[in-house]
Amino acid sequence: MSVKIRLARRGRKKQAIYDVVVADARAPRDGRFIEKIGTYNPNTNPASININNERALTWLLNGAQPTDTVKAMLSYRGIMLKKHLQIGVLKGAISQEQADAKFNAWLAEKDTKITNKTDKLAAAKADARAKALAAEAAKNQARLDAIKAKEDEAKAAAAAASAPAAEAATEAPAEGGEAEA
């Protein structure tokens, strides 16, 4: 029986979430599986990968073959490196302490990279939000200025319309008074 570590889809339409499962290679994608060892959510940025590292390593050392996607996820989490180091320990090339030290150094570096990426994404999102708010404030100010200009124009037109009427009213009796005299 060939055993694979692969993804099983779940979730709704266009919102897929995957389970990382150990299954017989002949079983259907979303069908029977031997063990669920984690989840994968590609909808988040960065993608959320939650895998039980010890169980995945145990299955890999027992001969389970990961699919290409799962192999990339296991490499991302450091499980493939840990397998490589463990094989070196079993062959006697390095000691368990050296392997653990190398893995912990790699893990610390990887955590730093992930933290930097999330911080960078959060900063970019906050910056985009600030720019959008500034653009909205500028647009609102432009609208207020246009409304104020229309009001001033209307007042000036009203004042200009009332000024000739007032001049005509003052000039008309004067002309009419001269005609009577």
Chain segment 152-162, per-residue pLDDT in tens: 888 888 888 88
Query: Residue 8 CB: number of other CB atoms within 10 A?
Result: 19
Query: Which CATH number characterizes residue 42's domain?
Result: 3.30.1320.10
Q: How many domains does the chain have?
A: 1
In a domain, 26, yes or no: yes
d(CA 49, CA 108): 17
d(CA 109, CA 99): 16
In a domain, 154, yes or no: no
Whole-number average pLDDT of the chain:
87
Q: Kindly report the pTM of this predicted structure.
A: 0.64
Over residues 32-57, the pLDDT tens digits come to 889 999 999 999 888 889 999 999 99
In a domain, 159, yes or no: no
Report residue 144 CA to chain centroid gap: 34
In a domain, 124, yes or no: no
Cα dist. 92→60, 63, 84, 100 in Å? Answer: 19, 20, 13, 14
Helices (H), the chain: 53-61, 68-77, 79-91, 96-180
Over residues 56-76, the pLDDT tens digits come to 999 999 999 999 999 999 999
Query: Which range marks the domain in which residue 53 is found?
Result: 3-94
Query: Residue 133 CB: number of other CB atoms within 10 A?
Result: 10
Tokens for 86, please give them: 């463990």
Confidence of residue 31 (pLDDT cuts 50, 70, 90): confident
In a domain, 122, yes or no: no
In a domain, 120, yes or no: no
Tokens for 169, please give them: 């009213």
d(CA 174, CA 172): 5
In a domain, 78, yes or no: yes
In a domain, 162, yes or no: no
